[in-house]
Amino acid sequence: MPMTQRQALEVLMPLRGERIVVTTMSSAGIWPTLSQSLLDFAYIPSAMGHGPSLGLGLALAQPERGVIVVNGDGCQLMSLGNLATLAQQPANIFIIVLDNGQYEVTGGQPHAGTGRVDYAAVARAVGVKRTYTFTDLPSWQSGAAEAISGPGPVVIDLKVEALPNQKTPKPPRPMAEQIRRLQGALSVA
Amino acid sequence: MLDGPSVVAALERVGITHVVWIPDSELGTWEPALRASAKLTLVRVCREGEAFTLAAGLLLGGKKPIVMVQCTGLFEAGDALRNVVHDMKLPIFFVVGVRSWYLQQKEATTDTCPIFSEPIMNAWQIQYRLLDSSHSADDLANAYLESQHADRAGAVLIAE
């Protein structure tokens, strides 16, 4: 039985430490109910599929800080090449793919890779050395601490429950305010 | 004249930290100079949309990136550019190689890239300068500085 997205993020929450957390799509609606950190960045409005690239830029700019990007499988497929970009950088970044096998916020349609794409295997194939797949909540609970530690880049495929009739979440605050908060927390404003 | 050593010197002078790029045959001649720079980090991406959002992350994190792509990649990168410039309002600066520009001036090409490059820049409401062989790397650096002083996005198109 796949875990829910909320369960997946509840496991992640105590492990994020002082890392920047970039959320996209559904996770951007759930994460603010778990965390109010100044280091949270809800990437909405976004360029679809580009959360990992934004996160990689942050990770290269802030190598000591570290970045966690919570992406969707549909988003990941839109810019699959970013895994190859990621692989060439010894960056402190963790990409979590919440893999529900559908475009959740457009009505639950399947995408081109539904049921076929192994994101951890794709990441390994393009050179990402540390990858993980967790298919249920107990395995994620027991393996998350190892996965969310050590050197990056890391790609983690989490099989999560597909929910129907989800809407694109609203960001917790306007983009300009999000940027001010994050840059203030990073002391780069 | 814009060549690798002069461009790199100009980028270093204005404090650029990262060059995020997919080269074309013209910009690609700058690679040895870019790689040789101790002040610039060259970041290679797989598709141009990635270049803009990766550079956005660098900007958010306090660095000073510049994006370099060909016009074909600019066309592909529209959603990322829209997001970075108009949603996030980041002062991203980029260099676009305009393939076949000189041939198009002489009506000696069927390449449609030069026809659409400037209209695309206008559509995305990006202030830009077109640099041809009469311009120098100082013109590129000045365009960058103008955009940064105005805290807005900007670009140069390189006639090829």
Write the pLDDT tens digit of every residue in A110-162: 999 999 999 999 999 999 999 999 999 999 999 999 999 999 999 999 999 99
Are A49 and B49 in contact (CB < 8 Å)?
Answer: yes
Number of domains present in the structure of chain B: 1
Interface test with A, best of B54, B89, B90 (most A CBs within 10 A): B54
| B44 contacts chain A (CB < 8 A) | yes
Mean pLDDT, residues B78-85: 98
A-chain residues within 8 Å CB-CB of B44? Answer: 85, 88
Nearest to A82 among B50, B58, B88 (CB): B50
**Does residue A16 have a pLDDT over 90?**
yes
Tens of pLDDT, residue by residue over A30-57, are 999 999 999 999 999 999 999 999 999 9
- The pLDDT assigned to A76 comes to 96
Mean pLDDT, residues A158-179: 92
Mean pLDDT over the full length of chain A: 95
Residue B72 sits in a domain whose CATH number is 3.40.50.970
**Does residue A168 have a pLDDT over 90?**
no
Which residue in chain A is spatially nearest to B21 when comparing CA positions? A85
B-chain residues within 8 Å CB-CB of A56? Answer: 54, 57
The domains of chain A, with CATH numbers, are 5-185 (3.40.50.970)
Question: Tokens 């960045």 label which residue?
Answer: A41
A-chain residues within 8 Å CB-CB of B89? Answer: 175-176
Query: Of all residues in chain B, what percent carry a pLDDT higher than 90?
Result: 99
CA torsion, ordered B96, B97, B100, B102, to nearest 10 deg: 90
Residue type, A163: L
Tens of pLDDT, residue by residue over B106-143, are 999 999 999 999 999 999 999 999 999 999 999 999 99
Reply yes or no: is the peptide bond before residue A153 cis, omega within 30 of 0.
yes
Using pLDDT thresholds of 50, 70 and 90, give the confidence band for residue A105. Answer: confident
Q: Which residue has the higher pLDDT, A180 or A168?
A: A180
CA angle A104, A107, A110 (to 5 degrees): 65
Are A47 and B45 in contact (CB < 8 Å)?
Answer: no
Query: Of all residues in chain A, what percent carry a pLDDT higher than 90?
Result: 91
How many other β-carbons are positioned within 10 Å of the β-carbon of residue A4? 16
Rounded Cα gap, residues A108 and A71, in angstroms: 16
Rounded Cα gap, residues A32 and B64, in angstroms: 29
Nearest to A47 among B59, B65, B79 (CB): B79
Using pLDDT thresholds of 50, 70 and 90, give the confidence band for residue B32. Answer: very high
Using pLDDT thresholds of 50, 70 and 90, give the confidence band for residue A164. Answer: confident
Mean pLDDT over the full length of chain B: 97
Which residue in chain B is spatially nearest to A180 when comparing CA positions? B60
- The pLDDT assigned to A92 comes to 96
Which residue in chain A is spatially nearest to B19 when comparing CA positions? A57
B-chain residues within 8 Å CB-CB of A179? Answer: 60, 88, 90
Rounded Cα gap, residues A167 and B110, in angstroms: 45
B-chain residues within 8 Å CB-CB of A53? Answer: 45, 49-50, 53-54, 57, 80
Mean pLDDT, residues B78-100: 98
Residue B118 sits in which domain range? 4-159
Mean pLDDT, residues B28-37: 98
- The pLDDT assigned to A165 comes to 78
Mean pLDDT, residues A160-186: 93
Q: How many CB pairs under 8 A join A and B?
A: 104
**Contacts with B, A 120-139, CB within 8 Å:** none
Using pLDDT thresholds of 50, 70 and 90, give the confidence band for residue A8. Answer: very high
Nearest to A53 among B53, B61, B87 (CB): B53
Quote ipTM for the complex: 0.97
**Does residue B16 have a pLDDT over 80?**
yes
| B41 contacts chain A (CB < 8 A) | yes
- The pLDDT assigned to A33 comes to 97
- The pLDDT assigned to B43 comes to 98
Nearest to A175 among B47, B55, B87 (CB): B87
- The pLDDT assigned to A166 comes to 82
| A55 contacts chain B (CB < 8 A) | yes
A-chain residues within 8 Å CB-CB of B62? Answer: 61-62, 183, 186, 188
- The pLDDT assigned to A163 comes to 85
Mean pLDDT, residues B10-16: 98
